[in-house]
Each structure stands twice: as C-alpha cells, then as structure tokens.
C-alpha cells in the first residue's frame, strides 16, 4: 500500500485534512545546522525510520497544505510549491517544473478549488505559495477563484520585487512574481498585520523569525484548540531541541525565541500543533518534561 496523500484530524467542530504535495529528502545536518548527532541519538527511538534514516543521514520534509473546514468556511493553510513553476536557483531544485496530483489529493478531501473561501500563507517562501496560482493560457491565474488570500503585509513588502530591486539574489527569488503578485492584481489578496480574525475563534497571529512576517493560525477554544504553526518547526527534533533553528530561517535567533514561546504556550494545554513539514505522524500535543519539551503524537 502506498503512502497516504491525505490524513485527517478532528478538533471539536473543526475537520482538518492534510493534503500532501511531495515528500523530498534532506540531510538532517543541512536542515538543522546546529545538529549534534550524539544529542539527537537520544530521540532515535521515535525518529527512526519515519523522521530519519541513520544509514543515509536523510530526513523527509513533507510539503503539504492543511485544509480546515469550519461550520462557516473552507480555509486552506499554505499552498505548497505548485505545478509548472520555473525555479532556476539550485536551492529551489525540488520545486522546479513539478507535475503533481495535488489538486486530485485536494479533491480526495471532498473539496474543489472553487469551494475554498480563504487561503492563508503562513509566509511567502517558495513551498508555501505555489498553488496560489495555476498556468492558464500562458498566464498565472488564481487557482482558487472564489477565495480571499491572506498574506502577511510584512512578508509582502519584504519580498515585493519592486522593493528588492538591486538586492542580492536570494533562494526565494521568483515565487513572488508568479504566485503572489497575480493574486493582488486579481483583487483577491488581503494584506494582514498584527492579529486578524477570520471568524470567531479562527485567528491569525504574527510569529516572526522564520520569515520577517511569518504568521500562525489559531483555532478553537477551551478543550478543543489547534495551531497551524507553519515553519516555526521543520522537524519534530526541534521540539526537543528548540534552540536549533533550520537552515531556511531568515532570522534564526528570532525564530528560536518564537519557537520557544510557542512551545511554552502549548505545553500541557489541549492544543494540537500542526506544522507545515512534519512527516507522519504529522502533528501532536506539546508536553512539559523534566528535560524540556516532548511530543505526544496525534495519529492521523
């Protein structure tokens, strides 16, 4: 049996489906530049084989969206890498000219693109904005024609091509022009800053560091809560070693502080954390332990 392309989590009245695009592999020592393998070995009991292959040194880095169905709206969190995108930089090689079944996987979740009400990009990196648009008659058009797209105003200004004129090349150069700007030009973009409420108990909050304007989405209340944490963590090892920021973080020290703050807020609370890149299992609850933080997996 092949790997599941969708998986589900229920939180109170909310139905959540993970929609996978691709599952590239990355050397763990590159993903986490501060990696100490002797320290990491203490976690091998759960890391191997789902999160790390000690024979190759590789870890899977799931590229997926979360589909949140509330009683009122269908919300897509993060839009993966997209098909037919020209990505010429070496750092973007995994995302160049893809031909994936992402939209079919979305359909398996019982939703069509026209039924999406909101698309939230936790930040504007290449692997979070690609399916914002699709190629139609040689032009990039919104994939989700009836959706309002929520972008961090800080990230939008940071990556705006006009603002970056003359700036040094960056691994994320390119996606703004084909996956963000067409949304604004189509009148479907909404730039948000500070706290933004989509509906009652569905709240966008700033959590910068991975990118200057990185945001998270917090849902529910009481005993039924969740947080879509984007790239605050790329690998579950960062729960156990929160000081280890990823190689993709724009502001590593701020990312470290934001990660610790989120873990502290979630620890021992009825909050399911759903990151953008964890392989299977894809999320869980944060626990306080005598050694720091730990994960209690939510099977899905």
CA dist 269 and 286 (Å) reads 8
Q: Residue 223: which pLDDT band, with cuts at 50, 70 and 90? A: very high
Q: What percentage of the chain has pLDDT greater than the value 90?
A: 90
Task: Examine residue 101 and state whether it is found in any structural domain, yes or no.
Answer: yes
67 Cβ partners below 8 Å, 6+ apart? 16, 17, 18, 19, 74, 75, 76, 77, 106, 109, 111
Q: Please tell me the total count of domains within the chain.
A: 1
Residue 259 has pLDDT above 70, yes or no: yes
Task: Examine residue 106 and state whether it is found in any structural domain, yes or no.
Answer: yes
For 143-169, what is the mean pLDDT?
A: 93
CA distances from 155 to 114, 228, 272 (A): 26, 18, 26
| Window from 4-8, 102-106, 253-257 with minimum mean pLDDT | 4-8
Q: Kindly report whether the peptide bond that precedes residue 49 is cis, defined as omega within 30 degrees of 0.
A: yes
Task: Examine residue 25 and state whether it is found in any structural domain, yes or no.
Answer: yes
Residue 95 has pLDDT above 80, yes or no: yes
Of 144 and 90, more confident: 144
The pair of structure tokens assigned to 156 is 């939008």
The pair of structure tokens assigned to 229 is 């944490």
Task: Examine residue 1 and state whether it is found in any structural domain, yes or no.
Answer: no
3-state DSSP call for residue 102?
helix
CA dist 210 and 87 (Å) reads 21
- Give residue-wise pLDDT tens across range 52-94: 999 999 999 999 999 999 999 999 999 999 999 999 888 889 9
Give me the domain span that covers residue 260: 6-297
> Is this prediction's pTM over 0.85?
yes
Q: What is the pLDDT of residue 169?
A: 83
What's 125's domain CATH number? Answer: 3.60.15.10
């Amino acid at each position: 049996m092949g790997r599941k392309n969708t998986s589900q989590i229920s939180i109170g009245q909310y139905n959540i489906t993970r929609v996978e695009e691709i599952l590239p592999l990355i050397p763990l020592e590159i993903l986490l530049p501060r990696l100490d393998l002797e320290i990491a070995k203490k976690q091998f009991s759960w890391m191997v084989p789902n999160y790390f292959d000690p024979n190759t040194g590789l870890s899977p880095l799931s590229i997926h969206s979360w589909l949140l169905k509330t009683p009122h709206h269908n919300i897509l969190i993060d839009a993966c890498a997209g098909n037919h995108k020209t990505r010429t930089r070496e750092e973007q090689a995994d995302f160049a000219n893809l031909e994936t079944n992402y939209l079919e996987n979305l359909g398996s979740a019982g939703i069509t693109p026209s039924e999406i009400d909101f698309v939230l990009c936790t930040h504007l990196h290449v692997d979070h904005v690609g399916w914002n648009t699709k190629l139609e008659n040689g032009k990039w058009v919104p994939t989700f024609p009836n959706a309002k797209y929520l972008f961090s105003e800080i990230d939008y200004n940071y990556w705006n091509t006009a603002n970056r004129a003359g700036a040094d090349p960056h691994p994320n150069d390119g996606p703004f022009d084909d996956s963000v700007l067409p949304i604004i030009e189509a009148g479907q973009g909404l730039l948000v800053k500070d706290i933004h409420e989509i509906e009652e108990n569905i709240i966008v909050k700033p959590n910068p560091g991975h990118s200057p304007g990185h945001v998270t989405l917090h849902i529910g209340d009481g005993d039924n809560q969740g947080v879509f944490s984007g790239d605050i963590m790329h690998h579950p090892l960062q729960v156990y070693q929160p000081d280890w920021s990823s190689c993709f973080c724009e502001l590593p020290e701020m990312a470290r502080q934001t990660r610790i703050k989120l873990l502290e807020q979630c620890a021992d609370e009825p909050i399911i954390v759903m990151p953008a890149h964890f392989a299977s299992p894809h999320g869980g609850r944060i626990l306080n332990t005598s050694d720091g933080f730990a994960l209690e997996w939510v099977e899905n």
